[in-house]
Amino acid sequence: MQNDFLWGGSTSAFQFEGGANEGGKGDSFYDTISKNSKLAQESSEGWMGLNKIKDYSVTSDFYHHYEEDIQLMAEMGFKAFRMSIAWTRILPTGDGEINQTGIDFYSDVFKTLKEHDIEPVVTLYHWDMPQSLIDRYHGWYGIETVEAFKKYVEICFREFGQYVKYWLTLNENNLTLKLPAFGTGMKVSKKDSFYNEFAYRVYHNTNIAHFYAVKKCHEMLPEAKIGCMIASSLSYPLTSDPEDVFMALKHNQELTYDYLDLLCRGGYTRKNKLEMEAKKSTIASENTDLFSNPSAKIDFISFSYYFSVCSGTEQSSADENAETLQMMYQALKNPKLKESSFGWTIDPKGLRILMNELYDRYQLPLMIVENGLGVKDDILTEDKKVHDPYRIEYLKQHIQAVKEAVDEDNVECLGYLPWGCIDLYSASGDRDKRYGFIYVDYEDNCKRYKKDSFNWYKNVIQTNGEEL
């Protein structure tokens, strides 16, 4: 691995930061869930398939623990830390007055990271849509939200550009066509005649927002690097039957390549445009002037990788009511792979395959900004230890795959930032699904405890991945 490889960890504001009712923060979609028990109830019954958690106001309370947390990251030797900015901490209504207390909070966090030689990797939007924009414009469905986002990212670049070199635009935006209603406040079902137009509009608006952020970043911060962030869902054919091979190809095309082709090749592909036209959508041609602008092209591709899936003609076992985003598109079970207790296949080789596919296709550096094993098995013992050999084993295999991709296949990779490095709330709504090197005791003021994996990862970083 190269000497400047960014070893670290990853989080998002709504799952980790807390302080929801402090420092002048406005409500996001998740704060509404915390405050509105009816919505929380609907969520727990599977609204969007997400959010059994009823209260996001504290989560892991990074808001009050950031100095301690950054100290712990420094002790592990982190070179980088991924976090997101809560849009409503900067602009409480999404597009109105600036909240100086919010600016001060993030400036302090970034300064503290820099003091410890840790590079912040900052996601501009990790799903916490301002509630006011949902109420007024239905979130990304309204072009007005794109205008609000433009204002928000300019503030971020202006205020934090002196500290932040690595930026990510919208978290896992390749899923938007699959989950367009998320964060719009609208319940549009696939059976509605309006569905296709709705889904394409939401997707298209997020794309305009993405291209604008990339271009603006390059203009305002020429030294910075900005990338996209995608959810990977690599699919294999279940068998060598060409029908299965074709279905795997379609899966990868629709979930990964259609989106990355758009971002890297300057516009919707011909196939994509024809599909939209066939569905009577004219959206693909609106406001696309930025799409092919060279300065709106990303500098690197970042992605989450947890598992792979299989595609084939066999009756699909995909569960429409599945608990997690990932399982919503989980196709067929791979008979060759073991699974985690949450039903996610464990496939380190898939990570190497994916890295090769992405790099060969787009010739852009990669950054792994999510990976890891979420389990309920972490137990805080009486002497305040957590023994997590399963996590060490999972990460060991995946880091080995990254090393092989980098050292043997010559893939350019900027860093490895496993998810939830300090325990946080799961996006699928189970706060006991833990990923961290550091245990957070939610029953006792979010106190932090090092798990066994803490020292293991510290040694991995110290030896630059030589000792796993």
- Decide if 466 is catalytic: no
Q: Which of 69, 172, 254, 299 binds ligand BG6 (CB under 6 A)?
A: 172
Going by C-alpha positions, the residue among 309, 266, 312, 272 that lies closest to residue 290 is 266
419 binds ligand BG6 (CB under 6 A): yes
Q: How far apart are CA 341 and CA 344, in angstroms?
A: 7
Instruction: Give the number of other Cβ atoms within 10 Å of residue 336's Cβ.
Output: 9
The pattern of x and - marking residues 103 through 142 that bind ligand BG6 according to CB under 6 A reads ----------------------------------------
Q: Does 235 bind ligand BG6 (CB under 6 A)?
A: no
Tokens found for residue 73? 């990251």
Instruction: For the segment 369-398, give every residue that binds ligand BG6 (CB under 6 A).
Output: 370, 374
Tally of residues, the chain: 468
Give one DSSP letter per residue of 379-424, joined into a string: ---TTS-B--HHHHHHHHHHHHHHHIIIIIT---EEEE--BTSB--
Residue 292 CA to residue 305 CA, distance in Å, equals 28
- Name which of residues 311 to 330 contact ligand BG6 (CB under 6 A): 324-325
Residue 304 interacts with ligand BG6 (CB under 6 A): yes or no = yes
* Active site (annotated) includes residue 370: yes
Options 84, 205, 233, 428; binder of ligand BG6; rule CB under 6 A = 428
Q: 364 and 301 in contact (C-beta within 8 Å)?
A: yes
Alpha carbons 87 and 95: distance in angstroms, whole number = 9
Instruction: Tell me how far, at minimum, the Cβ of 10 lies from ligand BG6, in Å.
Output: 9
Q: Does 308 bind ligand BG6 (CB under 6 A)?
A: no
Q: Which of 216, 222, 175 minimizes the C-alpha distance to 199? A: 175
Complex with ligand BG6: residue 1 or 337, whichever CB lies closer: 337
Least distance to ligand BG6, CB of residue 179, Å: 11
x-marked contacts with ligand BG6 along 34-53 as a string, rule CB under 6 A:
--------------------
Among 65, 201, 204, 433, indicate the residue that binds ligand BG6 (CB under 6 A). 433
H helix count then E strand count, the chain: 16, 12
Q: Which of residues 370 and 378 has its CB atom nearest to ligand BG6 in the complex?
A: 370
- CA distances 163 to 111, 117, 274, 284, Å, are 7, 11, 43, 36
Does 427 interact with ligand BG6 (rule: CB under 6 A)? yes
* Cβ proximity of 125 and 149 under 8 Å: yes
Question: How far apart are CB 190 and ligand BG6 at their closest, in Å?
Answer: 21
Structure tokens at 26: 């406005």
Active-site residue among 172, 223, 393, 412?
172
Considering the candidates 370, 382, 408, 412, report the single residue annotated as catalytic: 370
Which residues are the active-site residues?
172, 370
Footprint of ligand BG6 (CB under 6 A): 12, 15, 171-172, 231, 304, 324-325, 370, 374, 419, 426-428, 433
